[in-house]
Structure 1
Amino acid sequence: MKAVIYERYGRPDELRVEDVTMPSPAAGQVLVKVAATSVNLSDWESLRGSPFYARLGGLRAPRRPTLGSDIAGWVEAVGAGVTRFQPGDEVYGDNLQLMGGFAQYAVASVASLAPKPGGLTFAEASTIPQAGAIAVQGTVGAATGRRALINGGGGGSGSFAIQLAKRLGAHVTGVDNGGKLEFMKALGADEVIDYRREDFTRDHEPYDLILDLVAHRSVFDYRRALAPGGRYRCVGGSVRALLRVLTIGAAAGRLTRRRLGVLAVKQGPRYFEPLADLCVAGDVSIHIDRTFTLDEVPRALAYVGEGHALGKVVVTPP
């Protein structure tokens, strides 16, 4: 089978498509014939080995030779003890522990997968697991009369988060680069901010909820942007920023009746299936910006990692 592999951290040109041995599922695993894999910012970080937390499990070299966690496809074979799925079943999920989605076949844990909804294509289903889990958990607390800000609102998780926060009744502000402002408005954002031109932590009415997908600022900037009783949660960003949020931010927030912390994202179908149900019902839209082939995975990763993607990007193996 064909797979996109890499042996050392670096730029997209470290990736290459090779013929590799077909993997076999162990106990509690299934082999999935991949129909689509969406690209997440975590794939870009794992390719580069930066921020440093992307090297967990592989300080000097990648832990897994093939990236891609959000997969959708057909069960090809099942491992010992697997009764939940059978060959031919359509499935999707976030295979973050085993990765391997940028290939024609991938081994996945049964616990990471769910039956693919009939109302979604494979490409659509692949966009949901990781980005959806982040968006659902990151918008808890959004409600009518509350102000929510999504930093990184034009990307995969952000595009879902804007819609979820708006659906919950919040006044939503989306922050991203200038090329994504109209896209965020189309998603339902009440206000949009180009971070290159404007500082959302200054000269704005404070927010009750901030979901930060690209944390890089001082914790005191974030605290200033929060209303009393407000909550700030970050998911991605520099190691320095995350550590400061966990330490200085937590203490400084308590002193001023604000909560600052890192969102510990829970994984698995129970955390992303609620968003899939909303997508099937038409209450939340899925925006696939571009679709790439396996040979184009380096371009797909760069497109997402360099901040160009509007919503999600999907890779479809031959």
Structure 2
Amino acid sequence: MRAVVQKGYGSPAAVLRIAEVDRPRDPVDDEVVIRVHAASVNFGDWAFVTGVPGMIRLAAGMRTPRAAVRGRDVAGTVEHVGPRVSRFRPGDEIFGEIVTGSYAEYATTPESTISLKPRTLTFAQAAALPIAAGTALQGIRDSGGVTPGQSVLVNGASGGVGTYAVQVAKMLGAEVTGVCSSRNLDQLRTLGADHVIDYAVDDFTRGPGRYDVILDLAGSHRLRALRRVLTPRGTLVLSTGQGGRWVGPLQAMAAAGLMSPFVSQRLRVLAAKTTPERLDDVAALADAGKLTPVIERSYTLDEVPEALRHFGEDHARGKLVISIH
């Protein structure tokens, strides 16, 4: 089969190539072999290709990555199932977050990492959901605990997670403010944002607004500044899910963890995790028309290096999708 193979760490154009590799072996136990129709690009894919920050290599392999094929978001068709698989059978249309290897024509993963694809979406649209929509649902609904009438701000609202976070917050009845660049303001309004802030013009941490919940995906402000615009018993959810500046966001996360037990505000660090239950929720919301994928561009398998370059350098709007079959 054809797959995108990584030979080391560095720029996507330098370390990724298309190669013919062996198709997955027959599945064992709870494994499922998937015929991949589409995948998408996430921050983790870019980080594992570039090896930045260096701590990524502790998980991926110090000098060369232990897994040669990148990609985690997937949408496709079940090809074969292992003897202990109970939820799926060949021919089922699925989507999910596999362990690794969706930038290929076939992939193997445990059944616990996938769910039935939303019926109303194409494979390309479904591939744009798992990590980003699941993270948004976790950040806004589960960690943020958003309730109707609350004021919610999403910093980094035009990216993959942010576009879903705006939709989830509106779905839960919140008054939503999205922070992004000027070129994305109209898009956020279309997604339902009540207020939009161009970060190049206004610094929301110095404005008059006060928010019950802040989901910070951009890591562009210090913890003290974020807390200043949080209500006295508000909730701050921190994530480093976007862009390559790490030291500041990680310091804020560490400080939030230490400070949280001693202040009235709830300071949460988002450790995003995709579960079958959350995938089922995402699929149901998509089928109900409450979550709409925002896809900036679709690439072919041969164009994966360019897709990752664009993600890392150009601040992609919404999701970048890889169409394979």
TM-score range, shorter chain: over 0.9
Q: What is the CA–CA distance in structure 2 between the aligned matches of 1:114 and 1:275, rounded to whole Å? A: 10
Q: What is the CA–CA distance in structure 1 between the aligned matches of 2:7 and 2:323, rounded to whole Å? A: 22
Which deviations, in whole Å up to 9, do the C-alpha atoms of 1:47-79 show, x marking residues without a partner? 112234433242332232111111011111223
Which deviations, in whole Å up to 9, do the C-alpha atoms of 1:131-153 show, x marking residues without a partner? 11111111122233321111111
**Contact 1:53–1:239 under 8 Å retained in 2:** no
User: More deviation in 13-22 or 257-266?
Assistant: 257-266
Q: What is the CA–CA distance in structure 1 between the aligned matches of 2:315 and 2:251, rounded to whole Å? A: 28
Q: What is the CA–CA distance in structure 2 between the aligned matches of 1:186 and 1:72, rounded to whole Å? A: 26
How many angstroms does 1:307 deviate by? Answer: 4.4
Q: Name the structure 1 match of 2:197.
A: 193
Equivalent AA in structure 2 for residue 220 of structure 1: R
How many angstroms does 1:83 deviate by? Answer: 3.5
Indicate whether 1:130 and 2:137 are aligned: no
Q: Indicate which of 64, 67, 72 corresponds to 1:64.
A: 67
How many angstroms does 1:239 deviate by? Answer: 4.2
3-state SS of 1:201 partner: helix
**Contact 2:41–2:307 under 8 Å retained in 1:** yes
**Contact 1:103–1:317 under 8 Å retained in 2:** yes
Q: What is the CA–CA distance in structure 2 between the aligned matches of 1:197 and 1:62, rounded to whole Å? A: 41
How many angstroms does 1:250 deviate by? Answer: 3.4
Q: 1:59 to 1:18 in 2, by over 3 A?
A: same
Q: Name the structure 1 match of 2:252.
A: 245
Q: What is the CA–CA distance in structure 2 between the aligned matches of 1:45 and 1:18, rounded to whole Å? A: 21
Equivalent AA in structure 2 for residue 143 of structure 1: T
Q: Name the structure 2 match of 1:22.
A: 23
Q: Determine what percentage of the aligned residue pairs are the same residue.
A: 41
Indicate whether 1:183 and 2:183 are aligned: no
Q: Name the structure 1 match of 2:6.
A: 6
Alignment RMSD (CA, Å): 1.9
Equivalent AA in structure 2 for residue 59 of structure 1: M
Q: Indicate which of 163, 167, 175 corresponds to 2:171.
A: 167
Q: How is 1:142-291 mapped onto 2 (pairs within 5 angstroms)?
A: 142-236=146-240, 238-291=245-298
Q: What is the CA–CA distance in structure 2 between the aligned matches of 1:164 and 1:58, rounded to whole Å? A: 36
**Contact 1:136–1:272 under 8 Å retained in 2:** no
Q: What is the CA–CA distance in structure 2 between the aligned matches of 1:83 and 1:274, rounded to whole Å? A: 20
Which deviations, in whole Å up to 9, do the C-alpha atoms of 1:115-173 show, x marking residues without a partner? 22322211111111111111111112223332111111111111111011012121111
User: More deviation in 192-201 or 144-153?
Assistant: 192-201
Q: Indicate which of 50, 59, 75 corresponds to 1:48.
A: 50
Q: 1:150 to 1:63 in 2, by over 3 A?
A: farther
Q: What is the CA–CA distance in structure 2 between the aligned matches of 1:193 and 1:46, rounded to whole Å? A: 32
Which deviations, in whole Å up to 9, do the C-alpha atoms of 1:258-292 show, x marking residues without a partner? 12231122322211221221211112222222110
Q: What is the CA–CA distance in structure 2 between the aligned matches of 1:246 and 1:213, rounded to whole Å? A: 12
Q: What is the CA–CA distance in structure 1 between the aligned matches of 2:272 and 2:315, rounded to whole Å? A: 24
Equivalent AA in structure 1 for residue 164 of structure 2: F
Equivalent AA in structure 2 for residue 211 of structure 1: L
Q: Please list every run of at least 4 consecutive aligned residues from structure 1 whose deviation after the TM superposition is greater than 3 angstroms.
A: 250-256
Which 5+ residue runs of structure 1 have no aligned equivalent? none
User: More deviation in 242-251 or 39-48?
Assistant: 242-251
Q: What is the CA–CA distance in structure 1 between the aligned matches of 2:311 and 2:68, rounded to whole Å? A: 20
**Contact 2:114–2:279 under 8 Å retained in 1:** no
**Contact 2:116–2:280 under 8 Å retained in 1:** no
How many angstroms does 1:88 deviate by? Answer: 1.8
3-state SS of 2:101 partner: coil
How many angstroms does 1:254 deviate by? Answer: 4.7
How many angstroms does 1:216 deviate by? Answer: 4.0
